[in-house]
Chain A
Amino acid sequence: DTAVSQTPKYLVTQMGNDKSIKCEQNLGHDTMYWYKQDSKKFLKIMFSYNNKELIINETVPNRFSPKSPDKAHLNLHINSLELGDSAVYFCASSQDGTGLATDTQYFGPGTRLTVL
């Protein structure tokens, strides 16, 4: 069984479009994250949610809006896509019920977003 799943795996779209990436974890974890990995493999946190509440919101354009309908899901919606948004986006989860990042994080397989 897949622990952290993301859909779609690949997303190719035109500049200016709006797109969503879905993430689900079946580990019963309390905290979920979105990371962005650029072409140089640098991984940077974007958001984290603990029990559906926003904990971390890094300096990310407000075109990016996370939504957590329940603690097993954290979706990422991106408006008005730009060329610079092209990257691999990873969802992750951890058991930590306090929202602190001291626990092991479990990553999804990633979504490769290409903006043309």
Chain B
Amino acid sequence: SQQGEEDPQALSIQEGENATMNCSYKTSINNLQWYRQNSGRGLVHLILIRSNEREKHSGRLRVTLDTSKKSSSLLITASRAADTASYFCATDTPSGSRLTFGEGTQLTVNP
């Protein structure tokens, strides 16, 4: 069964606003990663958070991880039109042999 589920499926905001996307998963993990996919392109890695970390920042990105709730959130602050893309969370299995991707959140940032 699919490991990650994301919420919301689609999010539309105005430039300058913050965007928050959530990811829930089912089994224990070693790490959780977030990827971005622009239309017609491959996935690009954004940030990796390990199971013993609770929060991580990278530029305008802030990721939190709550292993007790098996959930993570990705916050993009001061969004820009160029942030328009699909965002996927990905979790590894306890054995670490593969990544399982969520269904993704389609973010649209309107100028």
Q: A-side interface residues toward B, CB under 8 Å?
A: 4, 40-45, 48, 55-56, 90, 92, 99-102, 104-110
A45, A102, A104, A107: the one contacting B30 at CB < 8 Å is A102
- CB pair B104–A41 under 8 Å, yes or no, is yes
- CB pair A100–B42 under 8 Å, yes or no, is no
Nearest opposing residue in chain A for B40, CB measure: A110
- Contacting residues, chain A, for B40 (C-beta < 8 A): 110
Asked whether A101 and B96 contact (CB < 8 A) given A41-B103, A43-B101, the answer is yes
Asked whether A107 and B42 contact (CB < 8 A) given A41-B103, A43-B88, the answer is yes
- CB pair B92–A102 under 8 Å, yes or no, is yes
- Contacting residues, chain A, for B101 (C-beta < 8 A): 42-44
Q: B-side interface residues toward A, CB under 8 Å?
A: 2, 30-31, 33, 35, 37, 40-45, 48, 86, 88, 92-93, 95-101, 103-104
- Contacting residues, chain B, for A106 (C-beta < 8 A): 45
- CB pair B97–A56 under 8 Å, yes or no, is yes
Nearest opposing residue in chain A for B103, CB measure: A42
- CB pair B92–A4 under 8 Å, yes or no, is no
- CB pair B42–A90 under 8 Å, yes or no, is yes
A40, A41, A101, A108: the one contacting B98 at CB < 8 Å is A101
- CB pair A41–B97 under 8 Å, yes or no, is no
- Contacting residues, chain A, for B103 (C-beta < 8 A): 40-42
Further pairs besides A4-B42, A90-B43, A92-B43: 7, Cβ < 8 Å: A45-B99, A101-B92, A101-B98, A104-B45, A105-B43, A107-B35, A107-B44
Query: Which 3 residue pairs across A and B have the least CB separation, nearest first?
Result: A107-B42, A100-B96, A43-B101
Asked whether A105 and B97 contact (CB < 8 A) given A41-B86, A41-B104, A43-B88, the answer is no
